[in-house]
Structure 1
């Protein structure tokens, strides 16, 4: 398998003919709803034979297939780097990295729940079932999660109860502070989480407290430690979702002590995305340099086997007005590509950030800027997981359509099963 980037003049037929694969195989693996293509669109080509094209080199083929040049040389008995147009090169299977992967899932209709669980179970160790809200007295909001828990276990994926500090007005640092600073409420919350996990047959918990204040830093780590001490004796997992940090100097992230959190829990899901988001100027959602710096920072504070690298299944579409952001919305990867097709604008790719982007004008003449994740970007992050030997990779969230992502995860990893 390799990633092909659509060029001007390409059609699905011409690409299939060029690489001697069926059009249906390209449609299926890429989840294509139409045969229309747009320049810059990335396509997975499902074959282990590469047909050399004009302008190809071992370097370019290596980058398309994520297979080292030396490996391609070895398996094809090449004595030099000279390639002949039309010659076939065997692309050997990549060594699979055993990982524990975690993806978030939100309850939906029974039919959709079943479809998503069955589709993504082969590549996940854990499903984070989103979400139970913490209330001011330490109780938890209800959630219709029983079908997802049952389906998860039937498909050998460990269900985790996701507990958040989300309120009707957004994530609440005030609520978090009240809970952490009031011993009786904190203890009540720990008891309620324990009872939830035990009574509903969860495998453990994933705590997603966002915007934790600097003054609550040690209290938060202590809360996670106490929760883990309550759950671990009965074999339940304690994990935490944390924002991406590249240093200790970022004021709004000082509430997260990577060392303390990493020591308290079984593993950490690092939300390595939203460097640019709906309330920010346009830009890459998960730029590769910042993701790498986050891993480097985390490894200075916790073991690599504690880290699940969180990656996005989405991007943002910013509407601009006189050079400033008028509004913005999150869009799935598939929606981003479909919008580029609709307005017939080429998709560009930043090699610096390893993320795609494009500009377009809508029917009202308003200018839009779109940044998102694609196969090339996802493969780069999978390479980080393998090269750094992290615990695994995880995604927010499975309801957002990104058909190539699961294929790539299978290409690079084998998901460990623990139940």
Structure 2
């Protein structure tokens, strides 16, 4: 019992929930499904060290979020010093990557991207600063995570990624790039039009498919990463990028919507997967499982309001890992490592 409680983080849960999935392992038994899959994940420097340590046995790589840059090409370091994460990663045999984002005032700024990719002088300054920072801080490479790239910057952006890779590879470092979840080359929308899968796949050592956020803060209640939707993205990506370069994204978070959902008004609350089960237990909810989405969900009442929660459990994680294995992808990557989910990491321990 103690092992079931520990592995599934049931310490603060007084009773099991109808429909709750548990990872049940004998002492010394491994639940690993990874095979030769590569595993990575994002984390901010303010992550609780004990939470990050829970993920370490599963990780090959740690994506440290994030460095920004100015319109002049100077790097902007994270608000909290990240050196402790770099050192902790190396101690565990995990490669730390510097994540570069076009953040301005806490949001992605495509005007920063536009100036960067259209101005070779500023671009070179960013690349020089990246190389110096990677060398000085002890990183093993760079992950480029740009979102809302303007359609007219599609080619220039891919070429920028290629230039970063050329310099980094020449100095013994790797470069990855995060890709919005497209299902076709001409998919409309600002999130997708600036992402050229073929060019970015060719110009990076590997890519990270952001296969999550179908269910999101301002959207209607649904699974964060429905397996049928994830499959569509993976199948399209395989038409443009070699499978041995593809990491499939997995969410380590959940959403709690207050009902009824009203577009433009309802804002879902961001929660953790372990927290979701605790909410179900506290409110006497029964957990359901969607066969199509391969994701768990439940509804409950609190203070006169109805709620709907979609989250991940060992069943949904197993389904996602099986999908990555089915298509023989390089591996999987997590957004993000900020919340506890021990059972998940036990499925991936090395």
Instruction: Give the alignment's TM-score, normalised by structure 1.
Output: 0.78
User: Are the counterparts in 2 of residues 312 and 395 from structure 1 also a CA contact under 8 Å?
Assistant: yes
Q: Which residue of 1 aligns with 2:16?
A: 37
State which of 241, 259, 266 in structure 2 corresponds to 1:326: 266
Q: Alignment partner of 1:384: what SS?
A: helix
How is 1:295-374 mapped onto 2 (pairs within 5 angstroms)?
295-321=234-260, 326-363=266-303, 365-374=304-313
1:250 to 2:228 alignment? no
| Structure 2: gaps of 5 or more residues | none
State how far apart, in whole Å, the 1-side matches of 2:41 and 2:26 are.
28
1:170 to 2:103 alignment? no
Q: Which residue of 2 aligns with 1:231?
A: 168
Q: Which residue of 2 aligns with 1:102?
A: 40
Q: Alignment partner of 1:358: what SS?
A: strand
How is 1:165-314 mapped onto 2 (pairs within 5 angstroms)?
165-252=102-189, 253-314=192-253
CA shift digits 1:97-146 (9 cap, x unpaired) = 1122111121137xx33x34543222111100111112222111123111
State how far apart, in whole Å, the 1-side matches of 2:99 and 2:33 are.
33
Q: Which residue of 2 aligns with 1:389?
A: 328
CA shift digits 1:300-342 (9 cap, x unpaired) = 1111110111100111111234755522121110111111111
User: Are the counterparts in 2 of residues 132 and 161 from structure 1 also a CA contact under 8 Å?
Assistant: yes
Q: How many residue pairs align between the two structures?
A: 343
State which of 120, 123, 135 in structure 1 corresponds to 2:58: 123
Q: Alignment partner of 2:241: what SS?
A: coil
Instruction: Give the alignment's TM-score, normalised by structure 2.
Output: 0.93
Greater RCO (CA < 8 Å, at least 6 residues apart) = 2
User: Are the counterparts in 2 of residues 117 and 152 from structure 1 also a CA contact under 8 Å?
Assistant: no
State how far apart, in whole Å, the 2-side matches of 1:118 and 1:160 are.
17
> Over alpha carbons, which structure has the higher Rg?
1
Q: Alignment partner of 1:300: what SS?
A: helix
User: Are the counterparts in 2 of residues 382 and 409 from structure 1 also a CA contact under 8 Å?
Assistant: no
1:362 Cα deviation after fit = 1.8
State which of 71, 88, 93 in structure 2 corresponds to 1:136: 71
Q: Alignment partner of 1:381: what SS?
A: helix
Q: Alignment partner of 2:75: what SS?
A: coil
User: Are the counterparts in 1 of residues 51 and 339 from structure 2 also a CA contact under 8 Å?
Assistant: no
1:293 Cα deviation after fit = 1.2
- Pick which of 195-204 and 240-249 moved more: 240-249
| Structure 1: gaps of 5 or more residues | 1-22, 49-90, 415-419
User: Are the counterparts in 2 of residues 314 and 373 from structure 1 also a CA contact under 8 Å?
Assistant: yes
User: Are the counterparts in 2 of residues 121 and 156 from structure 1 also a CA contact under 8 Å?
Assistant: no
User: Are the counterparts in 1 of residues 52 and 337 from structure 2 also a CA contact under 8 Å?
Assistant: no
State how far apart, in whole Å, the 1-side matches of 2:23 and 2:88 are.
30
State how far apart, in whole Å, the 2-side matches of 1:336 and 1:355 are.
13
State how far apart, in whole Å, the 2-side matches of 1:95 and 1:393 are.
12
Cα 1:137–1:94 change in 2 (3 A) is closer
State how far apart, in whole Å, the 2-side matches of 1:330 and 1:247 are.
29
